[in-house]
Structure 1
């Protein structure tokens, strides 16, 4: 196969894989009420169906980037795509909650290898003059899948069954894996010295910290009835945090360079992206649980997918136009307005859902999607632009880990809110998160847009 054709196949297969990953993140939201009923899931298990994927992705995404540098991007990407296919099969055949959770965790692990692997492949598959367009297509297909996921998931659940979400996703991902296997180099990168070491201890401590922190938050709901469910994971989280910071500071090749987390511009931008994911996933999750419930609008899965279509439209349209908006108005003011849109949309959604008014619900969701899209699309570029290019690999891993972890925190905290006050309480938490995002954006330097333009 000639090099230009091989490069096009690498880009096409990688974009197809990202389309599946994006859709996987949101399609399941429309299926959750049906899955809960069929599998007899409790409230905590419903949260873990989402959190298992997010936490596995957050815990392994930095390792995935390091493995791409060590073993070769082609190998890592192919491993991630094949594992994702197998994970879809596990979920599609699952007969209990345990198998679903295992499959979701495997999907998260697979995503942690597929994302950095395919991104590196795409960046190397085309000549320098076409690199920006190829990476833009890679990101665009990821957002396209993310935006259309609720409608796809609702339609498949309604007309076929929730398991077919994963059958279809797995089949398409298998095509992506075959394309990468046929076109991408599957050898380790050539180097003169020994391959870079991986701090296994730091990786394990960071993974334990993430999981135990989420379990601690989930234990808040039973802190008086069963305090050990809160205190035990809190002790584990505290110990792992202290050990992680203590060991990483004294390593010559740490798993995470803690100095990066002390960079104000990088930290604010990463936190802004995490806030966006904190809002997006619980909004889709608990909105579907509400509007498909007997006490809500009692919508079918496909009707719920159609009801969330305005949010999908806002997400996709604004994410694609985000670079132009940033160039025209600047990143800081653009994202400040976007965060205010989230704050303003939250009571509209809560009131419309409470009054069962679909028209106003659509308006609120359109506004929320438009507001969430700009920081979700822009904040990672700002974070990477804040650091030297030679730190791009690790900083990209940290940004992605922060985004996944933000989504997991959002699902967990809003699970507490939903149990206490329904969708109205969830929207209050999301509005508060939007206010935090506004403060983060306001604290960004005034020349952020110029940094972003230089990065692109």
Structure 2
């Protein structure tokens, strides 16, 4: 094997290993959080922020991560992101209280915002033209496999060792990926000033402030009558920050986010469908684990809860691979619409099975929900990017990712209100209602798939062209 071919192989292997670890981290923590809550003394708000800190940091920074990959070099940014993610995982493993946990989760989000677009761009650049689609497919498959198996991995490590072992293993895998990627050739960084030249710092600050304030406002919604200021003040800050962000972006020649993309109807509807999918799956994973591992719930161990979620993982991974083919054969409108209606119906059955402690019913409901969520997850980003000119693919992919992460954060926050008010059945009702919204959006999706999206346009979305 020639040195060039060996270097390409190391880039591909390291990128897939890194995304496997990043994907698994995103869902493995859900199985570990009930134990972490007891060990670290987490309150309800801190429990939610253990997830939201990661999501918001990723949402706010992933567009910047894509720009950094373009300006400083994809492989350098990917290595930096993987190392930062690993260090953040080590910080969480050593945490002795909520502050260290939340700091680590925020740094993990920043690491993901660098590693996800960085590894994909590095892989795209390294692969031979005839192998590029296959390489990106392997990258996307590794990310989805990690996301699907995360609950079982998290439950098994927490049960056999401790939740700290989960983050130690994650750190080791990420450091190995970073070392392999760095060994693929000399890292030649661009001048650091190149990243900040023309950087929309005020827009970035306004966007991040608006996102965080919005989550604080939603958290205060449940006690708005008793403590109206806790709801109104962050809501006002969110509104002012997002209005300022809109004004800044409209007047910049090179904006952080080109808001004109949201004026494209097909792009906006497809992004909305993807947001609904992430809104549904993250609260399902978190609050199912809290309920399943609670003495008054199913009373399962962490590994038992992970095994109970295997049907969801199977449906999610299996249908994510079939999703593009189904969309081509039957049309995105029919496929995504039917999936969303199936999720809504399955939520009712899942609530009943959970109340009756019927494991068979739980398995069936979770499989249907996993399969249903996989279809918009696999289809919506392709449709969103197909609605844009090729020159706007990079900007569009960053916006797709940012909106998807924000959708997951909204789901965790509103799911926390529902769980506090009515337990897991209320969470399933919320997910079912969101799925009906998704079904409404699906009615306006294209009836048939359009021309395939180029691999470059999918950079940062984690999807296979």
* TM value normalised by structure 2: 0.95
Tell me the distance in 1 between the aligned counterparts of 2:252 and 2:453: 35
Answer yes or no: is 1:390 the counterpart of 2:391: yes
> What residue is the counterpart of 1:377 in the other structure?
378
> What residue is the counterpart of 1:450 in the other structure?
450
Q: Is residue 345–residue 367 contact of structure 1 (8 Å, CA) maintained in 2?
A: yes
Q: Is residue 75–residue 186 contact of structure 1 (8 Å, CA) maintained in 2?
A: yes
Q: Deviations over 1:241-286 (max 9, x none)?
A: 1111112111111111111111111111111111101001100100
Q: Is residue 91–residue 104 contact of structure 1 (8 Å, CA) maintained in 2?
A: yes
Q: Deviations over 1:27-47 (max 9, x none)?
A: 011111111111111111110
Name the SS of the counterpart of 2:450 in structure 1. helix
What are the equivalent positions in structure 2 for 1:188-337 lying under 5 Å apart?
A: 188=189, 197-337=198-338
Tell me the distance in 1 between the aligned counterparts of 2:368 and 2:374: 10
Tell me the distance in 1 between the aligned counterparts of 2:325 and 2:6: 31
> What residue is the counterpart of 1:20 in the other structure?
21
> What residue is the counterpart of 1:88 in the other structure?
89
C-alpha deviation, 1:451, in angstroms: 3.6
Q: Is residue 343–residue 369 contact of structure 2 (8 Å, CA) maintained in 1?
A: yes
Unaligned runs of 5+ in 1: none
> What residue is the counterpart of 1:32 in the other structure?
33
> What residue is the counterpart of 2:55 in the other structure?
54
Q: 1:454–1:245: structure 2 CA closer, same or farther, 3 Å change rule?
A: closer
C-alpha deviation, 1:3, in angstroms: 1.1
> What residue is the counterpart of 1:128 in the other structure?
129
> What residue is the counterpart of 1:76 in the other structure?
77
Q: Is residue 274–residue 406 contact of structure 1 (8 Å, CA) maintained in 2?
A: yes
> What residue is the counterpart of 2:458 in the other structure?
none
> What residue is the counterpart of 2:430 in the other structure?
429
Q: Deviations over 1:72-106 (max 9, x none)?
A: 11111111000001000000000001100000000
Give the root-mean-square deviation of aligned CA atoms: 1.6
Tell me the distance in 2 between the aligned counterparts of 1:321 and 1:222: 43
C-alpha deviation, 1:188, in angstroms: 4.3
Tell me the distance in 2 between the aligned counterparts of 1:185 and 1:198: 27
Name the SS of the counterpart of 2:256 in structure 1. coil
Name the SS of the counterpart of 1:22 in structure 2. helix
C-alpha deviation, 1:127, in angstroms: 1.2
Q: Is residue 14–residue 180 contact of structure 1 (8 Å, CA) maintained in 2?
A: yes
C-alpha deviation, 1:234, in angstroms: 1.0
Q: 1:188–1:454: structure 2 CA closer, same or farther, 3 Å change rule?
A: closer
Tell me the distance in 1 between the aligned counterparts of 2:369 and 2:351: 12
Q: 1:141–1:58: structure 2 CA closer, same or farther, 3 Å change rule?
A: same
Q: Deviations over 1:326-351 (max 9, x none)?
A: 22222221111111111111011110
Unaligned runs of 5+ in 2: 456-464
C-alpha deviation, 1:139, in angstroms: 0.4
Tell me the distance in 1 between the aligned counterparts of 2:184 and 2:23: 23
Q: Is residue 327–residue 453 contact of structure 1 (8 Å, CA) maintained in 2?
A: no
Q: How many residues align?
A: 453
Q: Is residue 350–residue 424 contact of structure 1 (8 Å, CA) maintained in 2?
A: yes
Answer yes or no: is 1:158 the counterpart of 2:159: yes
Q: Is residue 276–residue 372 contact of structure 1 (8 Å, CA) maintained in 2?
A: yes
C-alpha deviation, 1:71, in angstroms: 1.0
C-alpha deviation, 1:68, in angstroms: 1.0
Q: 1:217–1:378: structure 2 CA closer, same or farther, 3 Å change rule?
A: same
Tell me the distance in 2 between the aligned counterparts of 1:441 and 1:50: 28
C-alpha deviation, 1:65, in angstroms: 0.6
Q: Deviations over 1:379-410 (max 9, x none)?
A: 11111111111111111110000110010000
Q: Is residue 88–residue 108 contact of structure 2 (8 Å, CA) maintained in 1?
A: yes
Tell me the distance in 1 between the aligned counterparts of 2:290 and 2:390: 43
Q: 1:64–1:355: structure 2 CA closer, same or farther, 3 Å change rule?
A: same
> What residue is the counterpart of 2:150 in the other structure?
149
C-alpha deviation, 1:184, in angstroms: 5.2
C-alpha deviation, 1:186, in angstroms: 2.5
> What residue is the counterpart of 1:355 in the other structure?
356
Q: 1:194–1:420: structure 2 CA closer, same or farther, 3 Å change rule?
A: closer
> What residue is the counterpart of 2:5 in the other structure?
4
C-alpha deviation, 1:452, in angstroms: 4.4
Q: Deviations over 1:297-321 (max 9, x none)?
A: 1100000000010000000100111
C-alpha deviation, 1:323, in angstroms: 2.1
Tell me the distance in 2 between the aligned counterparts of 1:222 and 1:434: 26
Moved more, 178-187 or 284-293: 178-187
Answer yes or no: is 1:418 the counterpart of 2:419: yes
C-alpha deviation, 1:434, in angstroms: 0.6
Name the SS of the counterpart of 1:254 in structure 2. coil
Large movers: runs of 4+ above 4 Å: 193-196, 452-455
